[in-house]
Structure formats: C-alpha cells, structure tokens
Structure 1
Amino acid sequence: MSYDGQCWWITGASSGIGAALAKELGERGARVILSGRDEARLAEVAGEIATETMTLPFDVRDEDAMLAATEKAIEWSGGVDGFVANAGVSQRSRATKTDMQVYRDIIDIDLTAQIAATQALLPHLAARKSGSLLFISSIAGKVGVPMRTAYCAAKFGLAGYADALRAELSQDGIGVHVIYPGSIATNVSRNALSADGSARGRSDDVIDNGIAPDEAAKTMLDAVALNQREIIVAEGMEEAMGEMRRTPDQLFDQVAAMVANGYMEKMEADG
C-alpha cells in the first residue's frame, strides 16, 4: 500500500506517537488531519509536515465536537483514507490506592472515545469500500502490567474491539491494524495519572531510553503497508512479552472466514 495522495486523520496528534505518525505520513505523501486538545501545539506539528494539513482541535470526550470534526474531516479532502485512534493517557498507581474516577477517566479517553470516533467514521469508510483503521494499543494491552490496571483494561478493550471489527469488515476492503508499542521516548509517563487523578509529573528511565518516536512511526507505517494486522513495536523484554501473546494469523483468518460464510447474516436472521 502506498500512502501517497491519501488523507489520514490522527487523534492525539499534538505530541509523541501521534505527532511522529503525522510527520512520517507527510513524508510519504499523505495529507494529514491533526486532532487533539492543544490547538497551538497542533499548529506547530502541522508546520513541520511536508504536505497539506488541517487541524481539528477538540477533546475526544466531547462527542458533539467529535461528530462535528468527523463531518469536517470527510469534507476536507475528498474523504478520509486512514484513521489513527491514538489519543490516550496512561497510569502509574496501585489498584488498592486508585480512585475509581481514575478508572472512569482512563477508560473514557483511551477506549470509549476511540470507539465513538471510529463508529462515527465507519459509515464513510464502508460506503467507499476502502480505508485503514489503526488502533494504538500497548504492550500493556497484551500483558497485564503492575501500576497500570486502568490503562491495561482500556488497552486490552481497544484491541478486542479492533479485532472484532476487523472480522466484521473483512469483506468490505477496510484494513484494521492494532499497534502494540512498548517503551517509546514520549511524555506518556510524565502525563500518566496518579492514584488521585493528578498528572504524575515525572518520567521513567525505561521510557526516556525507549524507541525514538520517529523510528517507531516508520516501523508502524511499514507494517501497515504490508497489511500486518497485529504490529508489535518494542525491544528487549517488552518485545518478548508481546510476541508470547501474539495472536496467530490463522485465528484471525478463521474468524474472518466465519463472516465470509454468512455468520452475521445468520445471527441477524435468528434475532
């Protein structure tokens, strides 16, 4: 798959993986739509992209704003070819000490809002019978990691939604890809929520020494171009953990075959 001439929309595009993907897509000839809460920072990222861009700032939890942004994204450049569900926040706190509101906030941002944005865009992609959906999960969406119970719940859930959606769309020409990053050198740990919901405010050595975001973005987009459905971007122990929990391609194919053989139509008829 070539990205040249396509239009891609990225949430959480003001920094980190989102910003790196936006820049790399521009290098590969795609027009890019950038969304996030920080309008000024989105404008800075847009200024670093080699191709045409549009910024659509909004909070992913504001569904009315998200729906309005979806209409603008579709109208801007003749349609959206690819969507990256990337917006998210991590966690660093023991479950026994964590306020329940932290769970609600992380699941709302990392899971529910990403599903809502995807659902809003699906009719457009289905009508075109083409497109790509990228879901940024985490190695913590494969393996339960201490101090991240809310984050793991959200990222496991995002992967489950994406895997089921992939099967449903397997006859419609829409690719669904789940990316499982390990430690990437971003502000993810610094911005992570503590037990009371406040930002942690400091990073981890493992994050600071992680994969450079631009390198990670190249790896991700290369894998998507090869139509890989499950993409692990990690090193060392994190890569080994992810590979141990990798879903066999044969299983993805088996579930897609159920759809091809009329599974959904039979379920609807029985209902």
Structure 2
Amino acid sequence: MSFLNQVIWITGASSGIGKELAILLSQASCKLILSSRNKEALELVKRACATPENIYILPLDLEIHSNFPLKAAAAILAFGKIDMLINNGGISQRSYAENTDFEVDKRIVNINYLGTVGLSKAILPHFIKNKKGHFVVTTSIVGKIGTPLRSSYAASKHALHGFFDSLRAETYKKNIAVTLVCPGFVNTNISKNALIGNGNPQGKLDIATGNGMSPKRFAVLMMKAIEKRKEEVYISGIKEKFGVYVKRFCPRLFSVLVRKISVT
C-alpha cells in the first residue's frame, strides 16, 4: 500500500513513537489527525511536520470512553474520511501485583485495552461503510510474554491481541486490515510515565528503556510493517524477540529465564 492521500488518525501522538510517526508520515503526502491529552505538545508536533496544513489536532483522553463517538465524528469531519487508525496511546506500569492498588489495575486496563477497543469500535462503522480501513495497534512484546512489574500492563496488551485477532477474522471480507506492532525497549518517556502501585508516575527512566531503540528508528520500521499490511510484527532487540520464541516453544525454560532477567 501507499500512504499517498491517506487520512491517518494517530493516538498518543504528542511524544515518542507517535510523534516520530507523525513526522515521517507527514513527508508521505498524507493527511494526519493527531490525538493525545496534551494539546500544546500536539501543536509542537504539528509544527515539526513537513505539511502542517494537512494536520488536524484533536485532543483525546483514552480514559473517557463516553467521548469516543463525538471524537470519531470530529475526526471524520476533519478531512471527510479516515483510512487508518493508529492506536498508539497508552500507559505502562512498574509495580509488583501484590503492591498495586486495584484501582491502578483498572485504570491501566481502561486506557490500554478498553480505550483502544472503544475508539476502534467508534470508527469501525466508517470503515465498513467505506469498504476499507486499517487498524494499527501498538501493543508490546509484553503483549506476548508476561514479565515482572508489569502484570496489568501485560494483561492489557495480551487482551489487545485477543480482540484484534478476532476482529481481523471478522472483517477480512470487508477489506479491513489489522496490524499488531509489538515494541521491545524503545527510548521514550514510557517508563517515566509508568504507574507505580499507588497510581503515581514512576518519574524516572529505566536503564533498559534508556538503552532501547530510538523512536525515530522504530517509526521507520513500523511504517514498513504498515505498508506491507503485516498482521503482527516484533520490533525490538534480539533479547526481547528471543523471549517471545522461547515462551512459544520452550515455556518452562522461559519461566526460569524471566525470573532471572532484569526488566527495569
């Protein structure tokens, strides 16, 4: 596929992967709708793009599900259609399950899983009406393997795979594609913003995250996967990919390894 003349809606577009995707896609002659909670940061991203006149800012909070029908209608109205929804918004976790308040568990699921599903279902009728569409979902390597300090985060990402694998099968004949993108460690603010047990942000960068792939490099590889309409792709270092395949083929060995490997 080509991005030429496509209208693409990106959530989590104010920083990190979403920001770099916006900058790259703006060079591909498409129109963009950029969403996150931070309108000021979105305006900065817009100014960094090659064609700011082809960018519409639409503030969005993935935790406020009741707003999704109105937000979807506004997104469609901006350029008359939506060809692709890139579900990139979300929040991470850095706390053991025993130390995590249940309200924090619920918040992570409300944002990462229900927020993504709710927004996708709000735009799904538009895709069906147009007889085409593409859902792109930023999940995680932790959406394939569970690791310490990320119990609810892992659960929310695992759930996305279940939902969108089912949706892909249901909408295949309607010309609607689904691409699940699984990042490993990427050098963004995700660990700084990750919730600890009481719901506060961790406020610091993990060593592994700081040593991760640059968001710009990740965005380049993600765009290639989207162009090829891949169903699922792992964009990560060797260790993270190794973990996915060990879990699949040698689950007992994975259980031993995951207890020993540092995940911070």
Output the TM-score relative to the length of structure 1.
0.88
SS of residue matched to 1:34: strand
Equivalent AA in structure 2 for residue 15 of structure 1: S
Contact 1:9 1:32 survives alignment (8 Å) = yes
SS of residue matched to 2:195: coil
Give the equivalent residue in structure 2 for 1:131.
133
Name the % identity: 36
Q: After alignment, is 63-72 or 42-51 more displaced?
A: 63-72
Give the equivalent residue in structure 2 for 1:22.
22
Q: How does 1:109-120 map to 2 (within 5 A)?
A: 109-120=111-122
Q: Residue 64 of structure 1: CA displacement?
A: 3.5
* Residue 11 (structure 1) aligned with residue 4 (structure 2): no
Give the equivalent residue in structure 2 for 1:67.
69
* Residue 166 (structure 1) aligned with residue 168 (structure 2): yes
Give the equivalent residue in structure 2 for 1:265.
none
Paired positions, count: 247
Q: How does 1:213-228 map to 2 (within 5 A)?
A: 213-228=215-230
Alignment partners' CA distance in 1, 2:218 and 2:97? 30
Contact 1:232 1:243 survives alignment (8 Å) = no
Q: RMSD of aligned C-alpha atoms?
A: 1.4
Alignment partners' CA distance in 1, 2:176 and 2:29? 20
Q: Residue 245 of structure 1: CA displacement?
A: 5.7
| Unaligned ranges ≥5, structure 1 | 248-271
| Unaligned ranges ≥5, structure 2 | 250-264
Equivalent residue in structure 2 for 1:140, among 139, 142, 146: 142
- Structure 1's consecutive aligned runs of 4 or more residues displaced over 6 angstroms after TM superposition are none
SS of residue matched to 1:203: coil
Give the equivalent residue in structure 2 for 1:97.
99
Alignment partners' CA distance in 2, 1:215 and 1:100? 36
Partner deviation per Cα, 1:72-91 (whole Å, 9 max, x = no partner) = 11111120010011111000
Q: Residue 63 of structure 1: CA displacement?
A: 2.6
Give the equivalent residue in structure 1 for 2:208.
206
Contact 1:232 1:242 survives alignment (8 Å) = no
Distance verdict in 2 for CA 1:75–1:243, change over 3 Å:
farther
Equivalent AA in structure 1 for residue 73 of structure 2: E
* Residue 45 (structure 1) aligned with residue 45 (structure 2): yes
Distance verdict in 2 for CA 1:245–1:221, change over 3 Å:
farther
Output the TM-score relative to the length of structure 2.
0.91
Partner deviation per Cα, 1:44-75 (whole Å, 9 max, x = no partner) = 01111112100000211223332212111111
Alignment partners' CA distance in 1, 2:160 and 2:7? 23
Equivalent AA in structure 1 for residue 215 of structure 2: P
Equivalent AA in structure 1 for residue 14 of structure 2: S
